[in-house]
């Protein structure tokens, strides 16, 4: 690479970095508010509903999440990654997204009784049919959501999601109070998706045009079909446990598992969702420059992601008993046992998901399919064996082990094959790992000593663990750099 090309590549990388950084800031703030709202709604519903209601909803959620992954046939990512004029491809992409969503919803309407029967929860049939209405809304808004993400207009997307959250909360809590059971979850989510969809459709400012251009459709499918297959397998990975636990155990045990699973993804899903809003578009732009520019972007982002992930995962695992006692009450205590294993799983999922974003951004959607197929082939039998051997705890152990031993290594191999240099990442993550181990040990000791007072254990253990992690994990030079940047922002805000 010539000096001019190198400078040009760095300039492009910095420009994209600024745009992605702005989008990421909006995503983090918006997702924090969104997750806080969802968390609050979950707390209220956990007090109003029984664990068995959560179990019935888990089966419907598994169906909905599966169809949401394959619903747009990869058209959202294809739109974000499209290299050409959007106005030329938007009518074809929009028509295909709507058609596929209607077709898939029709299929799941008839498949709902079969899925509920497999999970030994026939009462889930109606909940599945109601909840999967969300995919029709998603198909109608798919291209417009992709345009907002492609142009790093996360502020508008986040505002639309927050309006949907308010509508979701109002409907779900009202129906739970009225005794609607699992239907309260489903009706709330459908209502929220409609409100969000209307705003996304309006704010994206994409002309309402439908059509079909065969060459464009062929290009979209060449990118989207491998991705849709990959995401479909990923959906199996994320939801097979619900069906297997429901089949082997019962709705109550599945309810405990769902609560623990949701806890394991609270803050981590906030980070992962916010990053995904900008990562595919950002890595797509970086990959257009060259492999070195893409690798440089990976080297900057992965250590920061790990540094933020680890303390959340470790402290949640160590303080889980206190958290459940304080937030949900003693009736949910059986969920504690599986939580540490699900925290390991969630860290692996976030890292693998980030690797998938890099692969998608570079256009290597077939690699994402291979990764997920390897993961699924190992996971499903492991879940069956684990659940039969040790119930929900066995399911959690199986999930975590397969993610660590299979999914992460295969993802790293796939990244290496597209030219991403991985060696520099090793030294960068050792310090956060050691810091997390120390902070977790301290938090665990405090939680054990203060076990009769869960509020004290949670507050003191969380504060001590966080402070110790920050001192040990963040180099002093970097801490000073962050503090200086914060002071400059404050001074700039005061001057304005």
Taking only the tens place, the pLDDT of each residue in 318-338 is 999 999 999 888 889 999 999
Count of domains observed in the chain: 1
Residue 287 lies in a domain: yes
Best CA proximity match to 73, nearest among 132, 142, 137, 129 = 142
Q: Can you give the pLDDT at residue 217?
A: 82
Q: Can you give the pLDDT at residue 281?
A: 54
Residue spans of alpha helices (H) in 319-453 = 320-327, 339-361, 365-402, 408-417, 425-449
Q: Which residues of the chain have pLDDT under 50?
A: 1-14, 16
Best CA proximity match to 249, nearest among 345, 389, 98 = 389
Q: Can you give the pLDDT at residue 7?
A: 40
Residue 493 lies in a domain: no
d(CA 278, CA 315): 27
Contacts of 494 (CB under 8 A, 6+ apart): none
Q: Are 283 and 294 in contact (CB under 8 A)?
A: yes
- Axis crossing angle, helix 214-248 with helix 251-264, rounded to the nearest 10: 120
User: Residue 261 corresponds to which tokens in the numbers above?
Assistant: 């699973």
Residue 75 lies in a domain: yes
Domain that residue 328 falls in: 3-422
Residue 147 lies in a domain: yes
Helix (H, G, I), strand (E, B) or coil at 450: coil
d(CA 445, CA 125): 45
Q: Can you give the pLDDT at residue 10?
A: 42
Residue 449 lies in a domain: no
- For 163-222, write each residue's pLDDT tens digit: 998 999 999 999 999 989 889 989 999 999 999 989 988 888 777 778 888 888 888 777
Q: Can you give the pLDDT at residue 465?
A: 94
Residue spans of alpha helices (H) in 249-319 = 251-264, 266-289, 291-318
DSSP letter at 336 equals G
What is the four-CA torsion angle of 407, 410, 415, 419, rounded to 10 degrees?
A: 170
Best CA proximity match to 206, nearest among 154, 145, 155 = 145
Residue 481 lies in a domain: no
Residue 495 lies in a domain: no
d(CA 157, CA 203): 8
d(CA 341, CA 310): 14
Residue 279 lies in a domain: yes
d(CA 411, CA 388): 29
φ and ψ at residue 213, rounded to 5 degrees: -115, 115
User: Residue 176 corresponds to which tokens in the numbers above?
Assistant: 């739970």
């Amino acid at each position: 690479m010539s000096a001019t090309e190198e400078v040009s590549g760095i300039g492009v990388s910095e420009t994209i970095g600024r745009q992605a950084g702005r989008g990421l800031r909006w995503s983090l703030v918006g997702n924090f508010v969104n997750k806080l709202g969802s968390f609050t709604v979950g707390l209220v519903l956990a007090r109003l509903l029984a664990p068995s209601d959560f179990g019935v909803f888990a089966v419907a959620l598994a169906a909905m999440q599966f169809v949401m992954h394959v619903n747009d046939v990869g058209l959202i990512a294809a739109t974000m990654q499209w290299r050409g004029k959007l106005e030329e491809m938007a009518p074809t992409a929009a028509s295909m997204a709507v058609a596929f969503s209607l077709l898939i919803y029709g299929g799941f309407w008839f498949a709902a009784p079969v899925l509920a029967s497999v999970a030994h929860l026939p009462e889930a049939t109606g909940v599945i049919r109601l909840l999967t209405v969300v995919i029709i809304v998603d198909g109608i808004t798919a291209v417009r959501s992709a345009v907002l993400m492609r142009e790093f207009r996360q502020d508008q997307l986040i505002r639309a999601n927050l309006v949907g959250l308010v509508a979701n909360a109002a409907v779900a809590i009202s129906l739970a109070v009225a005794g609607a059971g699992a239907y309260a979850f489903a009706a709330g989510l459908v209502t929220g998706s409609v409100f969000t969809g209307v705003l996304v459709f309006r704010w994206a400012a994409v002309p309402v045009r439908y059509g079909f251009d065969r060459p464009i459709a062929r290009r979209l499918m060449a990118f989207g079909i491998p991705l849709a297959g990959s995401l479909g397998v990923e959906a199996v990975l994320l939801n097979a446990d619900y069906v297997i636990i429901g089949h082997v155990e019962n709705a109550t045990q599945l309810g405990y598992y769902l609560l623990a699973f949701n806890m394991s993804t609270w803050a981590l899903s906030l980070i992962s969702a916010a990053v995904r809003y900008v990562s595919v578009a950002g890595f797509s732009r970086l990959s257009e420059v060259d492999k070195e520019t893409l690798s440089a972007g990976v080297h900057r982002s992965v250590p920061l992601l790990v540094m933020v992930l680890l303390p959340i995962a470790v402290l949640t695992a160590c303080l889980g008993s206190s958290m459940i006692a304080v937030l949900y009450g003693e009736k949910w205590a059986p969920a504690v046992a599986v939580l540490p294993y699900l925290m390991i799983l969630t860290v692996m999922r976030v890292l693998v998901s980030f690797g998938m974003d890099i692969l998608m951004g570079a256009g290597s959607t077939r690699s994402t399919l291979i990764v997920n197929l390897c993961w699924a082939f190992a996971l499903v039998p492991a879940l069956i064996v684990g659940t039969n051997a040790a119930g929900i705890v066995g399911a959690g152990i199986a999930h975590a082990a397969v993610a660590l031993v299979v999914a992460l290594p295969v993802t790293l191999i796939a990244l290496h094959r597209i030219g991403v240099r991985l060696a520099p990442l090793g030294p960068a993550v050792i310090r956060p790992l050691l810091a997390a181990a120390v902070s977790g040990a301290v938090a665990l000791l405090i939680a054990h000593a203060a076990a009769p007072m869960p509020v004290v254990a949670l507050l003191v253990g969380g504060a001590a663990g966080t402070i110790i992690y920050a001192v040990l994990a963040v180099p002093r030079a970097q801490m000073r750099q962050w503090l200086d940047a914060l002071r400059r922002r404050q001074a700039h805000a005061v001057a304005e």
